[in-house]
Amino acid sequence: MMQLPTILYSISEALKNRGAKAIVVGGSVRDHFLKLPIKDYDIEVYGLESLDVLEKVLLEFGPVNLVGKSFGVLKFVHDHEEYDFSFPRLDLKVGIGHRGFDVAVDGKMDFKMAAKRRDFTVNAMGYDIEEKVFLDPFNAQRDIKDTVLRHIDDDSFVEDPLRVYRAVQFSARFRYTLAEETEILCLRMVAGNMLEELPKERVYGEWKKLLLKAEQPSIGFELMKSLGVLKYFPELEAIIDVPQSPKWHPEGDVWIHTLMALDVMTGLCMSGCPDCDKKNDEKKMLKYLFAILCHDFGKAVATTIEDGVIRSIGHEKAGLEPTINFMYRLTDEHGFITSLLPLVEHHLKPSQFYAQGAKAAAIRRLATKVTIEELVCVAKADFLGRTTEEAKNGVYKAGEWLYEKAKHLAVERKPLGNILQGRDLIALGLTPSPWFKEILDAVYIQQLEGTIESKEEALEFVQNKMKEA
């Protein structure tokens, strides 16, 4: 038996009195069997003549949003929760792309026919609210027991190439293996360049689910590799088989290290990364995850081997351009992409500063280029995402050292503030001019060096400069 919100039983009873049946469908039924938290409920209604009738029934219990009515969906709101009520439908492919579908809504359709349009067996189950029985026309419970992800129908599956990406993220999230026939079909779709018709927004949506919902997103990336999907992301494909020094990276090539670091980053975001809470700040988590995914892109072009010694000098800066190119293949969010670049460029700084015993001035200057708290988290995932003995201990001393130093200097989350402002120069009798910026910049440099620590010292510095001019 499936536990449901009380309101659904009330609505189901009202529909029953009209000769109709309410069936919970989709992810909520799947998640019930997977023992996962259920966040959304989708209900298909069978036996009504029209959506107008369904709308009248729902309005007896609360407000209805009609935004999806043309697709056979009514959004019902109760106690600040939204439920999708729909009629069974068929999606008919009539053109290229994800908009090339006609929707045929039919309240008289049977459940198996309606469920056939879904992608995988695990997403095609239903729960009859009145009868309190599960509907499983494609043996999804068998696949759940065997931890197998299996598509339902060849013809409908290939109509939407996004389902290859859905196979990737579901496999990673549930740690399922692809059924042999599903793997063959996905390989054929990729080889036939069918994924090229997908807009980046839809692809990015599946990538976000992979990164945010999988405890080991590396599973999905390995599957993308085996299916040939990485041909659409040459920056990722380029790091496969790129060698690394066994002293620092005994785990293997850059691809292996990157996926290990990605999984570590996921764990940190779930439990131990400052200012990152998976439940409340998905944007922050995505920032960390994409930063670690891209952090060694530069090694594909910067790695050299001389006399058997492997080096990747300058790979941090060399990774900026491929990071930009890679991210724009997924999204046009310029601000988000830009925010990743300092984390990529400076990801070695915590370890370098620790080894050098960097002074306060260097740490203050670093804080003007990157948020140190974020940098330490990314660098920690980089350090722990390998098989050295230090990494196995799970402690990143360099990061802890830098974070504490930055915290003591009050620059762990933002750069040092300017002691002087333009109004202070005006108070000294100066007339606003382009020279103001030069003066304020000179004062700020002294602040970073630690030679100016108070407003009085800053004003004295300016007055001395005025005398010299």
**What structural domains does the chain harbor?**
6-144 (3.30.460.10), 147-232 (1.10.110.30), 235-408 (1.10.3210), 422-468 (no CATH)
- Average pLDDT, integer, range 9-20: 96
CA atoms of 400 and 391, how far apart (whole Å): 14
Helix H or strand E segment including 169: helix 162-174
Tokens of 149: 């992800």
Q: Is 101 helix (H, G, I), strand (E, B) or coil?
A: strand
The answer on pLDDT for 166 being more than 70 is yes
Predicted local confidence at residue 278, as pLDDT: 47
Q: What is the pTM of this model?
A: 0.92
CA atoms of 338 and 208, how far apart (whole Å): 18
The answer on pLDDT for 305 being more than 90 is yes
CA atoms of 443 and 446, how far apart (whole Å): 5
Q: Which residues share a beta bridge with 127?
A: 24, 134
- Average pLDDT, integer, range 90-98: 55
Backbone angle region of 313, left / alpha / beta, with phi > 0 → left and psi within -120 to 50 → alpha:
beta
Q: Which residues share a beta bridge with 24?
A: 43, 127
- Average pLDDT, integer, range 204-229: 98
Report long-range pairs for 301-309 (Cβ below 8 Å, ≥24 apart). Answer: 303/242, 303/243, 303/244, 303/254, 305/243, 309/245
Backbone angle region of 398, left / alpha / beta, with phi > 0 → left and psi within -120 to 50 → alpha:
alpha
Answer yes or no: are the C-beta atoms of 256 and 246 closer than 8 Å.
no
Helix H or strand E segment including 92: strand 89-93
The answer on pLDDT for 468 being more than 80 is no
- H-assigned helices in 175-318: 180-191, 200-213, 218-227, 234-237, 254-271, 282-294, 299-302, 315-318
- Average pLDDT, integer, range 377-400: 96
Helix H or strand E segment including 448: helix 435-449
CA atoms of 71 and 89, how far apart (whole Å): 9
Predicted local confidence at residue 273, as pLDDT: 63
- Average pLDDT, integer, range 280-306: 94
- Which band of pLDDT confidence, cut at 50, 70 and 90, is reported for residue 401? very high
- Which band of pLDDT confidence, cut at 50, 70 and 90, is reported for residue 187? very high
Question: What percent of the chain lies above the pLDDT cut of 70?
Answer: 94
- Average pLDDT, integer, range 416-422: 94
